[in-house]
Chains A and B, each alone.
Chain A
Amino acid sequence: MHPSRRLVVGTLSVAIFLAVWQFVGQREIIRSDLISYPTEVLATFARLISTGELGSNAAITLQEFVEGFIPSIVFGVAFGVLLALIRPLRELLDPLLTAMYTAPVIAFIPILVVWFGVGTYSKVVIVFISAIFPIMINTRVGVSEIAEPWLRAVRSFGADQLQVVTKAILPGSMPAIMAGIRLGLGRAIVGLIAGEMYVSLGGIGRMIQVYSSAARSAEIIVLVVVIAVFGYVCVALMRSLENRLGTWQSDLE
């Protein structure tokens, strides 16, 4: 089998898809206001960029994301470590945390909007609670699976509790923590966009909502691709970070 067959077939199938889409949309075989077509999508993208509409709304969404996601990592990892180390605490909270972990968190959006208002604050909270439970539970599992002899070794060299956490527990559970952060990232983006679409004053989700009530398919498709690219970039960044941490970890051993 030719090594580049994957590339050839893949590119060809995407090209055929785009060509058919262009043809069907531009010739109005299916109404173009329903499905748009690639060149219109590109032109719309250029227009949204040049008017600054996309930039200013993306900035709002990005800010909400960062303000919610960073605290969810900090608190998620911290609570995850505590839950793993303190068994009664874990047993006490286990049913509640499992429920929140498996719950469709977007169902909390209406009540959070009642509590925190229609502005950015409720979106930050949605990002936070979307991401914190997968991070917390993955951290807990990762820490629980660290080999006991390793911890004893660190302790026998005179490490205090803080050093045990920073020198043994955190590095040892890093792969699980990163997996939790990646899972949380996906959920946070979904929660954020859904929250903005539910009710908001600005952001990508708000733009989608506005254009969908005007049935503007081209704008909606542009925004969907923007969100997809954002998600993809975040995951790629995380993977490279993971690889660096991974080599650092194996240096340690």
Chain B
Amino acid sequence: MTLARPVTALGFPAKARATLLGALGIVLFLGLWELAAQAGWLNPVVVSSPSRIAAAFAGQWQSGQFVADLGVSLAELAIGFGASVVVGVAVGIAMGLNRTTEYALDPFVWFLYSTPLVALYPLIVVWLGFGFATVLAIAFMLTVIPIAVNTFAGVRSVDPSLIRAVRVFGGSRTDVILKAVLPASLPMVLAGFRIGLSRALIGVVLGEMFSSNAGLGFRMTVYAAHLKTADVFVPLAAFVAIGLLTTQLAVALEGRLQSWKTSR
């Protein structure tokens, strides 16, 4: 990397300028919000304000409430996503390699893919009751479909001559999957993970808001019912941060893989 970075008229590197302006945007947003609440343009009890939210965060942190809720939500996210990866990739490969399996599962997959699955949550509550299992089931249901569909598309796009080559050299069916199909379809699979991760988070939020007794989403509804707006914003901000971090992580992973592929 000996290339000079693009430089703007002011002599700032373009990237630094974007970061600086972005930070300024956040500061301006929070500053205006605080000012509007302090000056009484907006009712601070209703809209809250950054300083009130910071105080609410400190309170939730000290009581251990925030960490406990965060732990529950992250555990649900991890388990729900992990289970979806295992099942989704397996189903996607099965559909990709076997036409009959594809045709048999296709109607169900596409129905579930185009259904706003939120609406199914009451059935799951009826089946599994309130709590951890229901949240996991909702997250799983939302996540497994995009992962399966993407894996399927990835497997279908694998060059058949690659598969034939493994077979010619005496590779078994397992070899075909591990040595040819999975590596070649990895970009699509990872794109499925990225979509799945954001859907798993939606599943956790939904499950916790509607049918749980723990986690950030549940806590949010409790605070909202008591009109503690500043407290509502703490788990809300955590969800926004988790969404941002998981997406960045998935994008970074995809990027790394892409560079590895091209350098090969």
Contacts and interface: CB of A to CB of B under 8 A. Distances in A.
B22 A94 contact: yes
B155 to A, nearest CB: 17
Given A111-B236, A211-B122, A227-B119, A10 B106 contact: yes
B29 A96 contact: yes
Contacts of B162: none
Interface stretch (B80-88, B182-190, B198-206): B198-206
Interface residues of B, number: 57
Contacts, number: 156
Interface string A1-20: 10001101110111001000
A94 B221 CA distance: 29
Contact of A91 (B17, B46, B209, B210): B17
A110 B29 contact: no
B109 to A, nearest CB: 11
A199 B201 CA distance: 21
Interface in A40-80: none
A227 B116 contact: yes
A193 B201 contact: no
Chain B at the A interface: SS class:
helix
Contact of A212 (B125, B217, B240): B125
Given A91-B17, A92-B25, A99 B104 contact: no
Contacts of A1: 99
B123 interface: yes
Contact of B25 (A95, A109, A208): A95
A241 interface: no
A115 B47 CA distance: 8
A150 interface: no
A107 B104 contact: no
Contacts of B17: 91
A194 B114 contact: no
Most buried by A among B22, B46, B106, B210: B22
B202 A190 contact: yes
Interface residues of A, number: 57
Given A13-B105, A91-B18, A107-B239, A189 B116 contact: yes
Interface in B197-246: 198, 201-202, 205-206, 209-210, 217, 220-221, 223-224, 227, 229, 232-233, 235-236, 239-240, 243-244, 246
A246 interface: no
Contact of A13 (B22, B24, B104, B227): B104
Contacts of B26: 95-96
Contact of B243 (A9, A103, A197): A103
Interface string A97-128: 01110111011111101110000000000000
8 contacts: A6-B103, A103-B244, A107-B209, A107-B217, A107-B220, A189-B116, A190-B118, A197-B122
Closest 9 A/B residue pairs (Cβ)? A212-B122, A110-B224, A9-B103, A91-B21, A13-B104, A228-B115, A92-B25, A103-B240, A95-B22
Given A95-B23, A95-B25, 8 more contacts: A34-B127, A94-B21, A99-B244, A102-B244, A103-B239, A110-B209, A212-B125, A220-B123
